[in-house]
Amino acid sequence: MAAHTSTGPGTDLPALPVTFRPTRTRIVLLTIGTAMFATITAIALLLERLSAGERISFVFTAALLTSVLVLLSRPKVVADEEGVTVVNLTSKRRLAWAQILRVNLRPGDPWVFLDLSDGTSLPALGIQPGIARQQAIADARALRTLAETRGTGTHEG
C-alpha cells in the first residue's frame, strides 16, 4: 500500500521511496503456501507406511509447490527519487523516470503497462487489479502522476 503526501494544490504525490505491490494477493499466496507446506509435511510424517525416501519426496514436493507460490508473490514496483524498479516473476528492471513515457491500466488489463522511450512496453505486475481493484487503480494513478512530474511522460486517461 502506498503512503501519499500532498506536495501542492491539487496534487497527491506518494512520499518517495514508495513500493507498490498486490498486498492482498501476496498475503493469500504466502498463507496458502505456508499452510500447504505444513499440511503435506505433517502428512508425510504421520503416515507410518512411508519409507524415509517417500517422506523426503513429500517434503520436497511441498517445498517445490510452495516456492512457486512465493515466486508468484514476488512482483512489486519501487519508485524512488532516481526512477522505478520493476520486479516481475523472474526479472528485475531499473528505469530512469525519463524512460517512462506513460503508465497504463486500461479496463481489462491484468496489470499496469509502462510505455517506454525505446518504443517498448514493460508489464509491471506489482500493480494488478486482481482482488484489490480500487487499490490497483489508486496505485496506477500515483505512479502515473510521479512519472508525469518527474519524467518526460504524457498523460493518458
pLDDT at 155: 43
How many CB atoms lie under 10 A from the CB of residue 67? 12
| pLDDT values of the chain reduced to their tens digit, one per residue, 157 residues | 444 443 444 456 788 999 999 999 999 999 999 999 999 999 999 999 999 999 999 999 999 999 999 999 999 999 999 999 999 999 999 999 999 999 999 999 999 999 999 999 999 999 999 888 899 999 999 999 999 999 764 444 4
Among 63, 64, 80, 67, which Cα is nearest to 17's? 80
DSSP per position, the chain = ---EE--STT--EEPSSEEE--HHHHHHHHHHHHHHHHHHHHHHHH-TT--HHHHHHHHHHHHHHHHHHHHHT--EEEE-SSEEEEE-SS-EEEEEGGGEEEEE--TT-SSEEEEETTS-EEEETTS--TT-HHHHHHHHHHHHHHHHHHSS-----
pLDDT at 12: 67
pLDDT at 11: 52
pLDDT at 152: 63
